[in-house]
Amino acid sequence: MNRSLFLVFLLVTFTGGLFFSGCATHNAAMTFDEEVAVSSPPAALEGFNAIVVYDSWSGNTCQIAEEIAAGLNCPAMAVDDAADLAAGEYDLIVVGSPVHGGMPTGKIENFMEQAAPAAFSAVFVTYGAPLFGTLTANRCLNSMEKKLGGQCLGRFKCNGFHKIFRTYPRHPDETDKSEAARFAAGLLERMGDYATTQGFTD
C-alpha cells in the first residue's frame, strides 16, 4: 500500500469510527433554570394550566411531546392545530421541534412569533445529525428559548432517527422517553414554587 492510500485509509477509518461511535451514545440531556427554586409539587398544582405544542415530520418529536404532556398531565397539540391557541392564558407552555438546519421548523418559528408569552415556558428538540448534531440542537434550543418569551424553566434534547443520514435508529427509545418524563417532573417541581406564591386559576 503506498503512502497516500494509507493516509486515505486512516482518514476513512477515523471519520467512520467517529460517525458510528457518535451514533451509539445516548444523548438525552436536560437543563433547568438554576434561579428557580425546586419544591415538592403535586398538592399545590391544582388548576395548573399547561400545554405542549410540537411539530414533527416523522414522529420522533411527537413521541417526546406525548411523554412530556403525560408527565405534566396536559394536552400535547400539533402545531397545525394551534393557530388559535391563546398561549398567554397558560401557566406553562412547552414547545418542541425537530432540528432542521440548526433551527426549529418554519411552523414552530411562526407559532412562536405569533404566540403571546405564557408565564413560564420550556423547550425541547429531537435531532439526528452525527458529530455536529449536538451543536445544531443547542443552537436551535437557544433560538427557541429567546423567541418564546416568558421565563424559560428548562430545555431538553434527545436523538431521533434521521431519515436522510439513517443515524440513531430506534430513537427516541425507552431511555429517551423516561428522560423526557423526568424532564416533565423537573418542570413541575419548578412550578410548585410559583403555585405556592401565586396560585393557579382554573
Q: Which residues bind ligand FMN (CB under 6 A)?
A: 56-62, 98-102, 126-129, 133, 136-137, 160-164
CB of 12 to ligand FMN, least distance (A): 22
**In terms of CB distance, is 14 or 132 closer to ligand FMN?**
132
**In terms of CB distance, is 61 or 121 closer to ligand FMN?**
61
CB of 5 to ligand FMN, least distance (A): 33
Among candidates 115, 135, 110, which has minimal Cα distance to 125? 135
Can you tell me whether residue 24 is helix, strand or coil? helix
CB of 146 to ligand FMN, least distance (A): 18
**In terms of CB distance, is 121 or 136 closer to ligand FMN?**
136
| Alpha carbons 194 and 191: distance in angstroms, whole number | 5
CB of 61 to ligand FMN, least distance (A): 3
Among candidates 124, 117, 112, 99, which has minimal Cα distance to 31? 124
Task: Give the sign of the dihedral formed by CA 83, CA 84, CA 86, CA 90.
Answer: negative
Among candidates 14, 60, 19, 38, which has minimal Cα distance to 159? 60
| Alpha carbons 83 and 68: distance in angstroms, whole number | 21
Q: Do β-strands 92-98 and 120-127 pair in parallel, antiparallel, or remain unpaired?
A: parallel
| Alpha carbons 6 and 137: distance in angstroms, whole number | 35
Q: Which three cell numbers stand for residue 185?
A: 417532573
**In terms of CB distance, is 121 or 159 closer to ligand FMN?**
159
**In terms of CB distance, is 96 or 154 closer to ligand FMN?**
96
CB of 139 to ligand FMN, least distance (A): 8
